[in-house]
């Protein structure tokens, strides 16, 4: 199909999938459990980092995290003592282990004692002139691991374009926090990053459908592929290219309900 036909088709699919009924079976349902901005940020960030494997397992483990934080993530992060971390010893999700949990708790407590919102951890590295969020992702990775004795093993859980990673999980988290529309799925909590700067979360579902539609030619699944895909989608909507995540992901999952990769 030509570009006009492709845009019409994908816009139709965005409307189809960018609906409240998308929320319950998706990890985005976890931050939707909360009304406070900081709770939404903390759980949005954490569940996005855990977002590989079966969606049901991801969501169940996120609920377990909420329980361990006494149902109040921001309050727990700010006020918990070191001895309170022992109860997380049995929490794990695939390769995300106790050591990783401890460092997440350490970083988030350090950060939120100084800042009101996680937005600054990304937006401080970005200007309106930056065409994409690449600098924000690189800067966040450096900031996240800037504390003394940050575990080397935890670095695999926070991706960066500097290593040519597709950064699927962080791109998904930023979509949640930045995009805003009338559908009620994404939160639109942050305004220092523009929707036009966002990059596509690239998973197996999105990749498969994007290749079928001719939106991706590069064989690998890496940051350069994300750039290729997002640039092609910007041609369809320069101001909000990642809205097409709903279309590509939704079509892919509808075809085959595979685990998130």
Smallest CA-to-CA distance from 80 within 42, 47, 44 is with: 42
> Would the pLDDT of 2 be above 60?
yes
**Predicted local confidence at residue 167, as pLDDT:** 98
- pLDDT of amino acid 258: 41
For 80-96, what is each residue's pLDDT tens digit?
Answer: 999 999 999 999 999 99
For residue 256, the model assigns a pLDDT of 62
Taking only the tens place, the pLDDT of each residue in 176-228 is: 999 999 999 999 999 999 999 999 999 999 999 999 999 999 999 999 999 99
Buried b (16+ CB within 10 A) or exposed e, 8-45: eebeebbeebbeeebbeebbbbbbbebeebbbbbbbbb
Q: Residue 53: what pLDDT?
A: 84
Residue 261's pLDDT is 42
Contacts of residue 220, defined as CB under 8 A and 6 or more positions apart, other chains included, come to none
pLDDT in tens, 19-57: 999 999 999 999 999 999 999 999 999 999 999 888 899
pLDDT at 259 over 60: no
């Amino acid at each position: 199909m030509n570009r006009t036909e492709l845009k019409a088709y994908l816009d139709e699919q965005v409307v189809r999938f960018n609906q409240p009924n998308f929320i319950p079976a998706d990890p985005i349902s976890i931050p939707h459990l909360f009304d406070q901005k900081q709770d939404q940020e903390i759980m949005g960030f954490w569940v996005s980092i855990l977002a590989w494997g079966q969606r049901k397992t991801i969501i169940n483990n996120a609920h377990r995290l909420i329980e361990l934080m006494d149902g109040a993530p921001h309050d727990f992060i700010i006020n918990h003592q070191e001895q309170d971390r022992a109860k997380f010893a049995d929490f794990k999700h695939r390769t995300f282990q106790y050591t990783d949990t401890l460092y997440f708790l350490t970083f988030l407590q350090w950060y939120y004692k100084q800042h009101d919102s996680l937005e600054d951890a990304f937006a401080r590295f970005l200007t309106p002139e930056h065409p994409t969020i690449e600098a924000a992702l690189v800067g966040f990775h450096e900031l996240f691991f800037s504390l003394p004795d940050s575990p080397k093993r935890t670095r695999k859980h926070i991706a960066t374009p500097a290593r040519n990673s597709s950064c699927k999980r962080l791109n998904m988290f930023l979509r949640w926090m930045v995009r805003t529309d009338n559908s009620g799925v994404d939160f639109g909590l942050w305004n220092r990053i523009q929707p036009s700067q966002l990059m596509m979360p690239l998973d197996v579902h999105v990749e498969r459908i994007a290749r079928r539609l001719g939106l991706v030619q590069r064989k690998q699944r890496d940051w350069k592929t994300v750039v290729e895909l997002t640039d092609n989608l910007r041609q369809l909507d320069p101001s909000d290219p990642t809205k097409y995540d709903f279309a590509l992901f939704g079509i892919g999952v509808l075809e085959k309900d595979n685990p998130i990769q």
